[in-house]
Amino acid sequence: MHREMLRAKVHRITVTERNVEYEGSLTLGAEMMKACDMLPYERVDVYDLDNGNRFSTYLIEGRSGSGDCCVNGAAAHLVEQGDKLIVCAYAVVDEAEARGHRPTVVLVGERNRIREVKTEERAATRVRS
């Protein structure tokens, strides 16, 4: 048996731009993608903390150190500049691996700077805004 598990997550990144005229995707700064080991063109699910919208798209690497978080194409209609997002990537793992699997969780602070990188989450843990 296989299970689909959270592989990586960027928590509370702020939308810096939305661009309907772009072909599609989500642009994240290169350092953010590196911190959570996400790759260009990788599929991600996006959850908007401000309005509850959810959508799937793929990643494009932005400029290193930029703090970019640009929602492009049709999905740009689902967010506003300044919204806080959760960006998740998943992996299919076999049963034996799933029991010990730990995701990479990147907590984001002001100006979309990495605040903390960890490999677990606990129930009822509140995250600073």
Residue 17's Cβ-count burial label (10 Å; 0-12, 13-18, 19+) is: middle
Q: Does residue 58 have an active-site annotation?
A: yes
Residues 63-85 have pLDDT tens digits of 999 999 999 999 999 999 999 99
Residue 116 structure tokens: 């903390």
Q: Which fold has domain 2-118?
A: Barwin-like endoglucanases (2.40.40)
Which is the catalytic residue, given 22, 41, 56, 58?
58
Residue 128 has pLDDT above 70, yes or no: no
Sorted by where each begins, the domain ranges of the chain are 2-118
So what's the pLDDT on residue 94?
Answer: 94
The chain-wide mean pLDDT, for the chain, equals: 94
Catalytic residue among 25, 56, 64, 90: 25
Report the pLDDT value the prediction gives residue 124, as an integer from 0 to 100. 64
Nearest to 74 by CA among 17, 20, 26: 20
| C-alpha to C-alpha distance for 57 and 59, rounded to whole angstroms | 7
